[in-house]
A and B are shown apart, each in its own frame.
Chain A
Amino acid sequence: MSDTWIVIVVVGALTIALKAVGPVLLGGRPLPQHLTGIVILLAPALLAALVVTQVLGGDEEIVLDARLVGLGAAVVALLLRAPLLVVVIAAAASTAVVRLFT
């Protein structure tokens, strides 16, 4: 087996297991009461981390670039209570325009 296939098979199997661990082992059952308070806060914590890493992330560094303008446009769209589609398009379009002129 080539190196590439080894990586594909191992990473694929590990990813499938990571995604399945909750639904397969705990599926259909409510979480224990004392864990609910933690799990409910997982979404805001992870979403905030995803925003930060996707807008500033580089190769082990913080990169300030046109994505910040896109996020700014998304903030404005959100303040205007625009629908999700408009928020996403505003971010992409403004980033594209800034890249076009810089």
Chain B
Amino acid sequence: MSPGRYRDGARKVAPIGIAAFAFGASFGVLARASGIQSVEAIVMSATTFAGSAQFAASSILGAGGGVLSAIVAATLLNARYAPISVSMAPVFTGGVVRRLLESQLIVDETWAVSRRTDGAFDRRLLVGAGLVLYPCWVGGTAVGAIAGDALADPADLGLDAAFPALFLALLVPQVRSRQALAAAVLGGMIALVLLPFTPAGVPIVAASAACLIGWRKP
């Protein structure tokens, strides 16, 4: 692997870093509005580092939904990281501690940008992208939790549309083979059908089952 790759990962994820910062800030604002202290919001962003789960957990706490439902909702939302981390496992080398630390940089966006068009993952792209996104998310949370309501709503800036656009742009080069296209169509359809009936997170986890069409007899 050529040594420029950390930078390549950072560059690829940079436009999303801006959106992640803005959403980190809106998480900070929402957490405060839900009765969560600034330091608690920042610690949550630093340890969980998974936006949708954090939004879900804090809004449930704010609505008085209870500890258990907050934990269940957040865990359902993050369940997709099990198959995602298994798919990336071969590229993580080194000792257990290093693998554990580097694996924490896995989020949807860093996972997606670290996949090369040949289907393999690149650890350096992941780490480069993660080291950009992580401070954006945690720093954004701190700004939002402390500066509060003075900030613009990221939705007013259209930043919520930046994420599906990124995933679509990363999907297009993946669907060169007929089987990959079939998996994408099936995964998208599973998510669409489940979207109105299931809690957030379930459609994505269920859609991962579409990859089973690639099963070959051992």
Contacts and interface: CB of A to CB of B under 8 A. Distances in A.
Nearest to A18: B81
Interface string A60-99: 1110001101110111001000001101111111111111
Contacts of B156: 96, 99-100
A30 B61 CA distance: 41
A7 B181 CA distance: 39
B216 A26 contact: no
A59 B52 CA distance: 12
Given A18-B81, A60-B199, A67 B161 contact: yes
Interface string A6-33: 1110111011101111111111111111
Main secondary structure on chain B at its contact with chain A? helix
Contact of A95 (B16, B80, B160, B216): B160
B192 A47 contact: no
Contact of B218 (A26, A32, A59, A87): A32
A70 B165 contact: yes
A91 B85 CA distance: 29
A47 B87 contact: no
Output the residue of A8, A27, A44, A69 with the most chain B CB within 10 A: A44
Nearest to A85: B15
Interface string A26-67: 111111111001111111111111111111110111100011
B168 interface: yes
Given A39-B211, A62-B195, A74-B169, A19 B161 contact: no
Contacts of A11: 44, 48, 53-54, 57, 70-71, 74-75, 78
A5 interface: yes
Contacts of A43: 87, 112, 115, 119, 174
Nearest to B180: A44
B43 A52 contact: no
A50 B165 contact: no
Interface of B: 12, 14-16, 19, 35-37, 40, 43-44, 47-50, 53-54, 57, 61, 66-67, 70-71, 74-75, 78-90, 92-94, 96, 99-100, 102-104, 106, 108, 112, 115, 119, 155-172, 174-175, 179-181, 183-188, 190-192, 195-200, 203-204, 207-218
